[in-house]
Amino acid sequence: MGIRIDPESDETDALFDLVDLDGREVLEIGCADGRLTWRYADRVAHVTAIEPFADSLARARRRLAEAPDDRIELRNVAFEDFAAASDADVFDVTLLSWSLC
């Protein structure tokens, strides 16, 4: 059967209830293996999904290689480094995804 995460869609229901992602420029901080990313990516204009741990991001990259999606950009970078190299006022939505603590 394999692992199934949130088949009830409780997390995505809460997300779509709280924010309109349609056509938005999104930054996801701490995307891990992209578990959440793929559940909303079809709504957004573009998502930059960052993850500092290479092993986690490698799983997301394998998934993206299997099903390419121009809207998803994966970056192996810590948030502080990403922020230091980024301009201000560029994202419509930031998802801080299970990564503040």
Among 5, 22, 65, 68, binds another protein (CB under 8 A): 5
Neighbours of 75 (CB within 10 A): 15
* Whether the Cβ atoms of residue 79 and residue 50 lie closer than 8 Å to each other: yes
Among 17, 22, 66, 70, binds another protein (CB under 8 A): 17
Binders of another protein among residues 26 to 85 (CB under 8 A) are: 27, 29, 32-33, 53, 55-56, 79-80, 83
- Angle (CA) 95 98 100, round 5°: 85
Which residues in this chain contact another protein in the complex, by CB under 8 A?
Answer: 1-8, 10-11, 13-15, 17-19, 27, 29, 32-33, 53, 55-56, 79-80, 83, 86, 88-98, 100-101
